[in-house]
A and B are shown apart, each in its own frame.
Chain A
Amino acid sequence: MNQAELNAAPATPFTHRHAAHCESGSVANLLSHYGRPLSEPMAFGLGSGLSFAYLNFIRIQEMPLIAYRAPPRGIIKGVSASLGIPFQVERFRSPNAGTARLDSLLDQGRVVGLQTSVFWLPYFPEDMRFHFNAHNLVVYGREGDDYLISDPVFEHPVRCPRADLERARFAKGMLEPKGLLYYPKAATQLIGMVPTPDNITRSIRRVARTMLAPVPIVGTRGMRWLARRIARLDPKDAATSRLIGHIVRMQEEIGTGGGGFRFLYAAFLQEAAESGSMPVLAEFSTRLLDIGDEWRAFALAAARMVKGRDAFDPPAIAALFSAQADREAAFFRDLRRALA
């Protein structure tokens, strides 16, 4: 579709789909709208979304950065590169300019993805509003003073008043969005852009490379390092409970689809096995589901200690954690070999 056709095209209603993770959900819903049907797991997989990082030197509200996923915006970039779909990406100096641009795109019938803070979005439940600036959502229209928003981590579309969305887009601090908006470029022919086995293989190798990287802070080595740190914690110190709770939060609470994104990635491997005609991936999907279950077991054991139902036992928690590092190291070594 070229620019003129896009402008002339009647506005297709936007289909909202509930997703586990904001970035993969937004990209999948956005591309599906523009004519390239894409599931959330496929977006997550092509974007090499799975990871692990323990960056002790980056502190966010006194807690070290712990992530079970790739850095923000990686999924958009990965999907864009794998499918050969260029995205128009814009940032703005001033909130006024950002809002004016968003309005004019919406008035042209365009649906756009945004990066925002979570804290300033009034439709989020109070207890989930923290200062995290790399949330993703899709805006598909406006009505009066409200924007019509498809926030993929919500079950249904929501509305957000103008002033609040502007605030959320221009929140300051770490990972600040600077009004970032994105959409597939108009001239792109999206239909027919299917993930090839080659794209899939490359995206999986990227994950395996990170997970097995010979550096101490990412992948399975990062897990082992964190496990060693946990083992040394003082069970009576309040900071111990905070750190353990923080790890579980990063694994389960932050839109991961359960088990620190492992179930979501297993869904990708399953879809890739079938649609990408790579049957070898099916058994890896099942194996990763089992690893995800072990992550859930770890979360349960840890949360019981945080809640005070079980006595704090840092070495036991550390042992669960490093067993996961062993499982994932073996998993990714086998996966890499299977794709060689």
Chain B
Amino acid sequence: MNIDDVPQEGNATLAGVRKAVYARGANNRIVTVASAGWEVEEIVTQQAVDIFSNYAAAARARVKAGESSPLEYWMYARRMDLATFAQSSGIWRWRIRRHFQPARFARLSPTLLDRYAHALGISRHTLVALPRDALI
């Protein structure tokens, strides 16, 4: 890639951050160039972001229908899948899955709620309900 070919078309997912890429400049020297972004990267990053947004939206609908608990919504809203959530909370997957049942979730102790809330980086108060607007 030559310096002139370094994409500068912008990438919304970078929110203005520029990335260093290596390209061939004068006298064939390879140098770093700050790139404002390439659409290819934007497409694939957006795809990865959307996967979680879609999971969160589906979980949100299930919570509203009384089929799941806010715990599931928050897990996806914080970009975790069950495996990641189990690792970061230190709670087994099957147990988390059980706590996706609204009735069980409603009976959870403050201690356990705090553990979940900490793993998600939100407050206990926030964890027990859906946010008014979708977050991601």
Contact = CB atoms under 8 A, between A and B. Distances in A.
B88 interface: yes
A174 B34 CA distance: 31
A253 B21 CA distance: 11
B79 A259 contact: no
Interface in A287-321: 289, 292-293, 296, 299-300, 303, 306-307
A155 B21 contact: no
Q: Is the interface on chain B under 10, 10 to 19, 20 to 34, or 35 or more residues? A: 35 or more
A248 B45 CA distance: 9
Contacts of B45: 127-128, 249, 253
Contacts of A296: 1
Nearest to A164: B121
A171 B88 contact: yes
Given A18-B32, A172-B90, A246-B48, A252 B41 contact: yes
Q: Is the interface on chain A under 10, 10 to 19, 20 to 34, or 35 or more residues? A: 35 or more
Interface in B32-56: 32, 34, 38-41, 43-49, 51
A303 B44 contact: yes
B128 interface: no
A300 B21 contact: no
B81 A125 contact: no
B30 A267 contact: yes
Contacts of A119: 79
A245 interface: yes
B3 to A, nearest CB: 12
A13 to B, nearest CB: 21
B23 A263 contact: yes
Interface stretch (B12-20, B58-66, B95-103, B104-112): B12-20
A58 to B, nearest CB: 11
B119 A172 contact: yes
A307 B43 contact: yes
A173 B84 contact: yes
B1 to A, nearest CB: 6
Given A62-B81, A127-B15, A155-B34, 12 more contacts: A18-B20, A125-B14, A126-B15, A131-B80, A173-B84, A245-B43, A252-B40, A258-B23, A266-B22, A270-B29, A303-B44, A306-B44
17 contacts: A18-B20, A20-B22, A41-B22, A61-B83, A125-B13, A125-B15, A125-B17, A172-B90, A174-B84, A245-B43, A253-B44, A263-B22, A267-B22, A289-B24, A293-B1, A299-B40, A303-B44
Q: Which 3 residue pairs spanning A and B have beta carbons closest together?
A: A127-B13, A125-B15, A263-B22
